[in-house]
């Protein structure tokens, strides 16, 4: 009988969307608002992560996904954006962890992601963690998680990626536009059209 391993996915949503839009050559975006571009980006992220699992991780069919977390923020006082972001994330298969911005700055996202990774590792809720982020602030938590025993895999774009984080992972998967073929060939033209509807800053 095959031995199945438990996988949990942790996405720094703000970090991911910023670099995804840059990869597409987009410049007019705000990840803290529930406009069409941000909501499309969330849907792209969901499909992209599935592609990463099936194409880039050996024996992924022996992995049981326990939970997929998405950590990000929304503009202060905009409850409608919060609801729209939460609903889209749920529909895309993510567990949303959203924070209201303070003085237009994101607070609490990295701490919440770190806490969730650590608690679930301590409780042996996963054998493998997939962290989607390029932020060097996560180097310490990646090293700490490895001491508990789980394997920590990272996935991110080449831009916005800390070399210290990249080499802290047990394994690293590079994300780029090449993965936007097949199931995701609709994504780039959709995001380009969505950006056109955003008022210029």
Assign residue 49 the CATH number of its domain. 3.40.50.1010
Q: Which domain holds residue 113?
A: 7-196
Answer whether residue 39 is part of any domain. yes
Contacts 24+ apart (CB under 8 A), 116-123: 116/10, 116/69, 116/71, 117/8, 117/10, 117/141, 117/145, 118/144, 118/145, 120/8, 121/145, 121/148, 121/149, 121/150, 122/148
**Structure confidence at residue 14 as a pLDDT band (50, 70, 90):** very high
Answer whether residue 71 is part of any domain. yes
Which pLDDT score, from 0 to 100, does residue 201 have?
Answer: 56
Which pLDDT score, from 0 to 100, does residue 1 have?
Answer: 41
Answer whether residue 1 is part of any domain. no
Note the pLDDT tens digit of each residue in 139-187: 999 999 999 999 999 999 999 999 999 999 999 999 887 776 676 777 7
**Structure confidence at residue 4 as a pLDDT band (50, 70, 90):** confident
H helix intervals, 57-198:
79-91, 109-122, 139-148, 163-166, 187-196
Residue whose entry in the numeric block shows the structure tokens 């592609």: 51
**Residues 101, 75: Cα–Cα separation, whole Å:** 6
Looking at the structure of the chain, the number of domains it has is 1
* % pLDDT > 70, the chain: 96
Average pLDDT along the chain: 88
Which pLDDT score, from 0 to 100, does residue 155 have?
Answer: 94
Answer whether residue 201 is part of any domain. no
**Structure confidence at residue 21 as a pLDDT band (50, 70, 90):** confident
Which pLDDT score, from 0 to 100, does residue 104 have?
Answer: 74
Note the pLDDT tens digit of each residue in 79-105: 888 899 999 999 999 999 999 888 778
Residue whose entry in the numeric block shows the structure tokens 């831009």: 159
Answer whether residue 2 is part of any domain. no
């Amino acid at each position: 009988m095959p031995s199945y391993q438990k996988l949990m996915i942790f996405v720094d949503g703000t970090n991911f969307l910023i670099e995804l839009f840059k990869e597409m050559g987009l410049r007019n975006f705000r990840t803290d608002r529930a406009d069409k571009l941000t909501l499309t980006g969330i849907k792209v992220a969901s499909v992209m992560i599935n592609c990463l699992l099936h194409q880039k991780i050996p024996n992924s069919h022996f992995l049981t996904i326990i939970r997929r977390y998405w950590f990000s923020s929304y503009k202060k006082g905009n409850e409608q954006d919060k609801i729209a972001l939460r609903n889209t994330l749920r529909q895309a298969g993510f567990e949303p962890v959203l924070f209201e911005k303070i003085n237009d700055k994101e607070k609490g996202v990295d701490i919440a992601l770190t806490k969730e990774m650590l608690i679930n590792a301590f409780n042996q809720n996963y054998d493998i963690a997939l962290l989607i982020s390029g932020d060097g602030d996560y180097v310490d938590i990646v090293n700490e998680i490895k001491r508990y025993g789980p394997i920590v895999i990272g996935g991110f774009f080449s831009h916005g990626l800390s070399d210290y984080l990249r080499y802290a992972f047990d394994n690293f998967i590079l994300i780029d536009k090449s993965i936007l073929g097949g199931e995701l060939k609709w994504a780039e033209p959709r995001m380009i059209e969505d950006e056109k509807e955003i008022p210029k800053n």
